[in-house]
Amino acid sequence: MNDTDDALLGYFDTAADGFGARLRAVPDASWENSTPCSAWNVRQLVKHMIQGSRVYSALLRGGGSAEFMANLDQEDAPGDDLVAVYREAVAECRAAFHATGALDRVVDYPFGPVPGRQLLGLYVVDAVTHTWDLARAVRLDERLDTRAVRWVLGNVEWIYQDVSESPLVDGDRYYGRPQRTPTPDAAPAQDRLLRLMGRTP
C-alpha cells in the first residue's frame, strides 16, 4: 500500500458518502426490505453502519475489542432519523481518523490488532460493500465508485493482513462466503469485488 494519508482519508470520504447518498434516497416504504445480508433488513443494515462508525471511533480513541463486539450489532440506534444519526456517526468517525497520530496508532480490532491505516481500509471495504447491499435492497443505483473499488481490489491483501475474519480465509461473519467460481480477469472490477465479498452482482 503506497497511498498517502490524504489519499487514504479521501477513500474514507468516498465510501462513507456513497452509503450516505443511497441512504438519503431510501423510500419510506422500504425500511423493512430484505438485503443481501440475510440477517438484516434495510433498517438493520443502516443501524449496523451507524454502530460501525461509532465503534471504529471508539477503537481509535483507545477502546477495546470487547467493546467493539458488544456494541457493533446493538439493536437500537438512538434517534428516529437514521439519515441524521448516520451523518453524525460518520462525522465523529471522520474526526477520529483525522486526529493526530490516529493512522499510526495500533488499535485493538477484535480479529487482530491493526494500525489505524489498516482499520481505515477495513472501514472502506465495509462501507463500499454495504452501499451495494443497500442499493440492491431498495433498487437504487448499484454502481460503486470506480476508484474506491479498484483501490480495495488492489490492496485487499494489505487490508486483511493478519486479520483472522477475512474473505481471504473464507470468513463469513459479516459478509457472505466468497464465491470461488472463476471470475474472468476481464470482468468489471465491481463484479470481482462483490464476488469476493460473497455477493451475486
pTM above threshold 0.75: yes
Question: Does residue 201 belong to any structural domain of this protein?
Answer: no
Question: Does residue 170 belong to any structural domain of this protein?
Answer: yes
Q: What's the domain range around 55? A: 5-196
Dihedral sign computed on CA atoms, order 142, 132, 150, 189: negative
- The residues, any chain, with a CB within 8 Å of residue 45's CB and separated by 6 or more, are 35, 37, 130, 133, 134, 137
Euclidean distance between CA atoms 31 and 44, whole angstroms:
9
Written as tens digits, the pLDDT of the chain (201 aa) is 778 999 999 999 999 999 999 999 999 999 999 999 888 999 999 999 999 999 999 999 987 767 666 666 555 554 578 999 999 999 999 999 999 999 999 998 888 899 999 999 999 999 999 999 999 999 999 999 999 999 999 999 999 998 887 777 765 555 655 555 555 566 789 999 999 898 888
Question: Does residue 112 belong to any structural domain of this protein?
Answer: yes
Question: Does residue 141 belong to any structural domain of this protein?
Answer: yes
Question: Does residue 80 belong to any structural domain of this protein?
Answer: yes
Question: What's the CATH number where 74 sits?
Answer: 1.20.120.450
How many structural domains are present in the chain?
1
Question: Does residue 41 belong to any structural domain of this protein?
Answer: yes
